[in-house]
Amino acid sequence: MNFTPAQLAAALDSTNLRLDATEADITTLCEDAAKHRFACVMLYPTSVAHAAQVLAGTGVRIGTVVGFPSGRFSPEAKIAEVIAARTAGAHEVDVVMNYAALLDGDLEWVDGELRAVARAARAQGLLLKIIVETCYLDADHRISALRLCEDAGADFIKTSTGFGTAGAQVDHIAGWAAARRGPIRLKASGGIKTLAQARALLDAGATRLGTSNAVQILAELTSGGDDAATTPGAGY
């Protein structure tokens, strides 16, 4: 599929979840997002208020992470983070599922967690993406995760935190695209560094890509370049 620069930019969540990110780094992230009209900036919760100041009046959306990166937080803690994110100025939350509970087969518990988090996100007017960390899930688990996210009413299911053993995989996105029953959207993240990777994931069915390389990927398109695809790995 061919994309215009504007179409590609509108699919990119420009991300800085580096452990050593400074306020200056977040300012640059936001300024670049405003310049290129990326879909969203994704950053840690304590950076949301600063991003809201930098992006005031630009229309660029702000996203933050919840239960990150392990997902092993109580539903009550995740709900508190969701509420705090909205108060600070976020528009979107990427919440990590307790995928360890999914692996243990406790689907009822995961279902309850996701429904509670989804209710909180809706009450706050936040777009909700659920991160399921596909590198640890087999095909059956990935479909179970999709069903749980659909049943909870999540807006997106998302592949990865970027801190697992691997990132976004084209076959995982394609599998979800073929199996979904309703309007849930797909976000790929983790290890997306080139235009070729971005094209492959969007062609497979993703409508958002989380990447710390948004500016570089967009520059590849505008310069007419297209690197050979490489296997996505861990890290944004």
Q: Which residues are catalytic?
A: 94, 158, 187
Count of CB atoms within 10 A of residue 71's CB?
Answer: 23
Residue 185's nearest CA partner among 197, 173, 200 is 173
- Whole-Å CA distances, 71 to 132, 149, 152, 188, 220: 9, 14, 16, 18, 34
Sign of torsion, CA 126 17 110 113? negative
Tokens describing residue 42: 């994704």
Residue 143's nearest CA partner among 153, 154, 127, 132 is 132
Phi first, then psi, for residue 64 (nearest 5°) are -145, 170
Secondary structure (3-state) at 142: helix
